[in-house]
Amino acid sequence: MSRLIAILISIILFSPSPKPAFPPTEATMPSSRPLQFHYRKPQDFKTQKPIARQSNRQPVLPPQSTLHDTRHEFPQRHHCGHSFHPPTHPVYYFNPEIVKQKISPSIREGLEQPLNYARNYLPHLLEPCIQRVIYLDSDVLVVDDILKLRNTDLRTKAVGSPEYCHANFTKYFTPKFWSSNTLSSVFSNRLRPCYFNTGVMVIDLHKWRMSRYTEKIEMWMEIQRKERLYELGSLPPLLLVFAGNIEGIEHRWNQHGLGGDNVNGSCRGLHPGPVSLLHWSGGGKPWLRLDSGRPCPLDMLWFQYDLYEPQFTTKK
């Protein structure tokens, strides 16, 4: 059960006039004092039953979230039923067989999990009447009113996400990719292709379907199996399709990299400025560092929402 989080992701679905699931929470990072949040702890939710009794390492999800798991049947299903309240929202199941044969080896085993690719199939998993969703990785905490993100103006784009144009874009692909004029020319007609973290995306499903983006992503995954164009799992195919072709969103909506690098997972702090979403992307996950008794300072923010019951003890 400790790995059950690996089969859960969060999708926020919106009706035409949605109401906030939580009171808005603002967080800022002044240069002269530590970051502070005013969280609601799990016991603050209006429930009649315990939130969790198993070692499920997932923060409490808002009522408009949808859980996805990677298989139609899995042995831990009965544990999941005891640990989570019966959902009042739709639950969609993602079949891992859709992508298993398309996934190539990555630098970290966790990046090879089929559920990492489920976001590519949202336009086909969800009903045609659903036009907009917010995709969130399972290692995030939202500390602001999610409706602010939902109301992002995507203009003509299918995807909105914070862009990081200062990042070294070339490192996300192999020298073989950049040495091929045929392959690297995919970016030649884009104004400014920049890195963006795919763990937080606002998606217009109608525009996605119209442009057949799922098929384009699958095309690059097939090429990758033959040519070895990248090493970072499900991220590069999305960069190949969308980099330079998304609507940029404020950086406050993805303070990513809190899990450190993909190898060591070392502790990292936040960038100065306002914070609306914390993202533990990288090799170090807060629930694992808490279990080991060696949490990073920011992991204590996650601890307030962690569903695992025993208190951790810090190792000296």
Look at residue 65 in the predicted model and tell me its pLDDT. 44
Nearest one of 296, 232, 224, 230 to 262, comparing CA atoms: 232
Look at residue 142 in the predicted model and tell me its pLDDT. 95
Tens-digit pLDDT profile for the chain (316 aa)?
Answer: 333 333 345 666 654 434 333 333 334 333 444 444 433 333 333 333 322 222 334 443 343 444 444 444 445 555 555 556 677 778 888 999 999 999 988 777 777 889 899 999 999 999 999 999 999 999 999 999 999 999 999 999 999 999 999 989 999 999 999 999 999 999 998 989 999 999 999 999 999 999 999 999 999 999 999 999 998 889 999 999 999 999 999 999 999 999 988 777 789 888 888 999 999 998 899 998 988 888 999 999 998 888 765 555 555 5
Q: Where do the domains of the chain lie?
A: 4-303
Q: Which fold has domain 4-303?
A: Spore Coat Polysaccharide Biosynthesis Protein SpsA; Chain A (3.90.550)
Q: Which residues pair with 147 in a beta bridge?
A: none
142 and 23 Cβ atoms separated by less than 8 Å: no
Look at residue 36 in the predicted model and tell me its pLDDT. 43
Look at residue 45 in the predicted model and tell me its pLDDT. 32
Look at residue 20 in the predicted model and tell me its pLDDT. 37
d(CA 306, CA 281): 17
Q: Which two tokens stand for residue 44?
A: 């603050």
Q: Is 153 exposed, middle or buried (0-12, 13-18, 19+ CB in 10 A)?
A: exposed
Look at residue 33 in the predicted model and tell me its pLDDT. 42
49 and 62 Cβ atoms separated by less than 8 Å: no
d(CA 68, CA 117): 12
d(CA 223, CA 266): 33
